[in-house]
Chains A and B, each alone.
Chain A
């Protein structure tokens, strides 16, 4: 082979080697190190154990329900189903609910009168944040201005007005009724909540919380739309149901 040929071949192989090295480096991913310390790992384990106990609890209740069905005679199976249906309705907010809780009142704050501009409505973002805060503090059911909040409740701005469950929010002051297992704790937490300090002060609104022995929440009164749920087709067995 002539010298010139070898020189070109060397250059070509050098280029090839360079490309391969870059490709190799690109493909090779940096090793992700576990940088959690022992406390964080312990916390994670605790969290997972909590999940396990919750799951076991759920399995137990479901097994209980199943056992009831199996043991019950035919006519009372219907009863069991209606009972469970009521339970589920209660869970998602289709029934009236009574219990200890708090009543939050949103009213215009004092400095508004000095400015002289009436406050029209509570912005939806603010309400959503408030609801999130309430649920974070273990509220079990919420109703804003007598509109029960369920999982799919829309809170949105329509032409400058806030609509909840497709009903416009009434004029201020607005009452938010909340039922919680530990109402007093929720009350205290709402007293010191940052939301009250910052957010409502910025919007010229005042949020006051009062503890109530009994709060009555209205039921969700609109039709629930479920696009994605269908009844299960009954399975045909040869000898009928055993």
Chain B
């Protein structure tokens, strides 16, 4: 179970070591992609706790969400509409929902284990 956390740390480490910088005009896309990735990750954790986790759904969801969010904000830039904000809003709300659900599940699990 600690392997994913280790993976996260390795990723951060690699990113900091490579010293890659995105041009300013593209940093919007990357930030929305990071948000989408977070959303999918927490969704995956929630699904795992609810025993509805599916590998394929998770992986495809991860990549398609990132691409969709980035392309949506790209479209927004070219249409002159801040669709970027729509994506931020949608992912933000979902992120909070997922975290809330995870917290409840963990709480109920903890209380049942204490009762035993």
Contact = CB atoms under 8 A, between A and B. Distances in A.
Contacts of A10: 3-4, 6-7
A8 B43 CA distance: 15
Contacts of B12: 17-18, 20-21
Nearest to B24: A26
A170 to B, nearest CB: 53
Interface residues of B, number: 36
Interface stretch (B55-63, B75-83, B96-104, B105-113): B55-63
Interface string B32-48: 01100110110010001
B8 A14 contact: yes
A6 B59 CA distance: 12
Contact residues of A: prevailing secondary structure: helix
A148 B17 CA distance: 65
Interface residues of A, number: 25
Contact of A9 (B7, B14, B33): B7
Given A19-B37, A21-B12, A14 B7 contact: yes
Contacts of B15: 17-22, 24-25
Interface string A86-111: 00000000000000000000000000
Nearest to A19: B34
Given A9-B3, A22-B22, 8 more contacts: A6-B4, A8-B58, A13-B11, A18-B11, A21-B11, A21-B15, A25-B15, A26-B22
